Structure 1
């Protein structure tokens, strides 16, 4: 056995087992990492360096509840990498968050930033709590104590948090204020996703959906489909799905299917998206009872014939059980992980072009970078300038990955990991390892 073969047989370079639809988040990320490492002939030392987070922090968060009791919550922050610049990543407040999940998402952020050429490393954070069971005061106390415990970790030049699952502009405002009180100065750039009045960027709320549309249009161009001749189906009608639907509709795309938690809605002649948006606004934020299309199940929605299918809801929606029933020419992953590993291979065999989440929904982190830049300069851009720069960066990233795909004859998802890992590893080699 050669030295290289020995290194590949190590725990780091082990061959992945059969692809499962229910993998751990970390193992799912590592499987794609291993593939890219082989393509790039990455040596084991570099592989180990990029496989392990730079820093993992676990903190206790004691607060006094509204009933006077003391309760202790657990919080995490994982810095996966900071080779390209300060680390960047959201903070989620969920009862089921785990350190393994946060590690996987932090690594994913490293590759995501590299894919769209944003000079950040990857990070992620989480607090094990259920915001639905907390009062506003309790939620603020958890946020502020978490921030105080992470005061040596976060910072505009070190690690920049952002909203994620169950966190929002208000949470970011509390984090910014707490950090600023400790720093004895107002430090807007310590977090992104803030209210505009506190230094947030215009265009941030629409950024992820706008980015999805940019890469969708780029994919249609590769497939020689005009936007006004395209039939699209969008799963999910929250912030990402609804923005995506509206922007495609404005370009003349016929959107035949939409859905939310209440179910799917189909109209072969096309759905009036303006009417759907007004309906949701006047119906407590849901499509329930929508009369502009026929009611179908979410399962049926995914299997509708279309040119582009955009899953922008939950993970694992397209799996080994329904992959063969997909009738789209392209899938654009607006959500995180909507296509499982098994389904990925099946769809590729069917000739369906998949624009992976690591690129497709990177509009959010791209405009977060813009927000950070604006905060550092103290000069803020118009929404039009934000959108133009976002469209350019997302379009450039798509073309770059498409070129990598063609060069190695691999999928766009594989190309994303190959490009990102090559960029980070080359940067690390040039910088060197301090000892």
Structure 2
């Protein structure tokens, strides 16, 4: 790999010859790579390349057990046309998926779509890692895995103890809901949650289990739950703001008014560049996605490296330690260098991702 250029890009075209999908292998480690598969009407090659590089950086804090990758298919996953496009993707990326890349769920993807891809390929999802099964069958696979890593990073960011910490969460999809559960489990009080429909705010603490059950897997707040404007989330009194919506979902105007002294990016690139700069000037600590949302990828990558033979307790103890230490180290370096935590983390791991 040369500089920021990916190791390999596989392009997928539709029946008219237009580019509609990509598999990007940013880096190979021991001949393997891993990343999510995004299904979205607006996904672009540049976005997939950026996310693949982000995956390499996430895995760096876990020792780079495999390289980073990412897949994207420009489509509405709810439309029947997705199946034809997914078949074309499988044909174009067959060699890579059978020998050097594993893809899992990401935005817009379902287990059925990923299972269908590997069924067409005629191989179990984790074959290249020596594990004859699906990703979710591997030892250590847990519900709310990404949320667990977010909670580990958030705990270190606020000094090592979340007891009584007030948390506001932007987004109530898989990451937002999962993080709400995991943060609550570690002692935090979730006081505000927003999605596209508005915000639910309760300074006395939201009943997370009830809300998750009421949502019923809809990846959004239950109908009628939001009683405030979604921008009210940013001015809610909270100790920590978790970003778990789409990329670039917080702009500079919102960064100007948000009250939480600590922000954690559970989503990829949750802040615009301008918003990140404004928060740095306001001396608000931002724990980047590269650290906070690395746990699911780390679980898969560590098991890929070990051929699926790691025990669950051993695996998650290593992930927890890595995220805790990376968060503390990046905060310390950012303070010393007078920079933001993301830049500090990248400076520490740049030699690993080349």
**TM surpasses 0.5:** yes
**Is the CA contact 1:311–1:333 (under 8 Å) kept in the aligned structure 2?**
yes
Q: Which moved more, 1:342-351 or 1:74-83?
A: 74-83
Equivalents in 1 of 2:219, 2:109: separation in Å? 20
1:36-435 correspondence to structure 2 within 5 Å? 49-61=2-14, 74-82=20-28, 86-134=32-80, 139-156=82-99, 158-180=100-122, 188-190=126-128, 199-221=137-159, 226-281=161-216, 286-290=221-225, 295-373=227-305, 376-377=307-308, 379=309, 381-382=311-312, 384-425=313-354
Rate the CA distance shift 1:269–1:396 in 2: closer, same or farther, 3 A.
same
How many residues are paired up? Answer: 353
Following TM superposition, by how much is the alpha carbon of 1:325 offset from its aligned partner in structure 2, in angstroms? 0.8
Following TM superposition, by how much is the alpha carbon of 1:126 offset from its aligned partner in structure 2, in angstroms? 1.8
Following TM superposition, by how much is the alpha carbon of 1:388 offset from its aligned partner in structure 2, in angstroms? 3.0
Equivalents in 1 of 2:262, 2:3: separation in Å? 31
Secondary structure at the aligned position of 1:331 is classed as strand
Following TM superposition, by how much is the alpha carbon of 1:49 offset from its aligned partner in structure 2, in angstroms? 2.0
Rate the CA distance shift 1:103–1:278 in 2: closer, same or farther, 3 A.
closer
**Is the CA contact 1:314–1:338 (under 8 Å) kept in the aligned structure 2?**
yes
Deviations 1:125-173 (A, max 9, x none): 2222222221xxx5445434422321222345x2222222222322222
Rate the CA distance shift 1:113–1:251 in 2: closer, same or farther, 3 A.
closer
Structure whose alpha-carbon radius of gyration is higher: 1
Following TM superposition, by how much is the alpha carbon of 1:213 offset from its aligned partner in structure 2, in angstroms? 0.2
**Is the CA contact 1:117–1:397 (under 8 Å) kept in the aligned structure 2?**
no
Following TM superposition, by how much is the alpha carbon of 1:342 offset from its aligned partner in structure 2, in angstroms? 1.4
**Is the CA contact 2:195–2:220 (under 8 Å) kept in the aligned structure 1?**
no
RMSD: 3.0
Following TM superposition, by how much is the alpha carbon of 1:214 offset from its aligned partner in structure 2, in angstroms? 0.3
Following TM superposition, by how much is the alpha carbon of 1:281 offset from its aligned partner in structure 2, in angstroms? 2.6
TM-score, normalised to structure 1, is 0.72
Equivalents in 2 of 1:297, 1:187: separation in Å? 42
Equivalents in 2 of 1:410, 1:84: separation in Å? 33
Following TM superposition, by how much is the alpha carbon of 1:202 offset from its aligned partner in structure 2, in angstroms? 4.2
Secondary structure at the aligned position of 1:93 is classed as strand
Following TM superposition, by how much is the alpha carbon of 1:285 offset from its aligned partner in structure 2, in angstroms? 5.8
**Is the CA contact 2:40–2:74 (under 8 Å) kept in the aligned structure 1?**
yes
Secondary structure at the aligned position of 1:170 is classed as helix
Rate the CA distance shift 1:171–1:204 in 2: closer, same or farther, 3 A.
farther
Secondary structure at the aligned position of 1:153 is classed as helix
Following TM superposition, by how much is the alpha carbon of 1:120 offset from its aligned partner in structure 2, in angstroms? 2.2
Deviations 1:48-76 (A, max 9, x none): 922222222213355xxxxxxx9987331
Secondary structure at the aligned position of 2:344 is classed as helix
Rate the CA distance shift 1:287–1:418 in 2: closer, same or farther, 3 A.
same
**Is the CA contact 1:173–1:198 (under 8 Å) kept in the aligned structure 2?**
no
Equivalents in 1 of 2:12, 2:94: separation in Å? 12
Equivalents in 1 of 2:233, 2:135: separation in Å? 40
Secondary structure at the aligned position of 2:23 is classed as strand
**Is the CA contact 1:201–1:370 (under 8 Å) kept in the aligned structure 2?**
no
Please, which runs of 5 or more residues in structure 2 have no aligned partner? none
Rate the CA distance shift 1:178–1:420 in 2: closer, same or farther, 3 A.
farther
Following TM superposition, by how much is the alpha carbon of 1:243 offset from its aligned partner in structure 2, in angstroms? 1.6
Secondary structure at the aligned position of 2:351 is classed as helix
What is aligned with 1:4?
none
Equivalents in 1 of 2:261, 2:353: separation in Å? 32
Rate the CA distance shift 1:276–1:129 in 2: closer, same or farther, 3 A.
closer
Following TM superposition, by how much is the alpha carbon of 1:206 offset from its aligned partner in structure 2, in angstroms? 1.5
Secondary structure at the aligned position of 1:302 is classed as helix
Deviations 1:342-399 (A, max 9, x none): 121221122211001111111121122144246x24x4744x5544333223223223
Rate the CA distance shift 1:187–1:95 in 2: closer, same or farther, 3 A.
closer
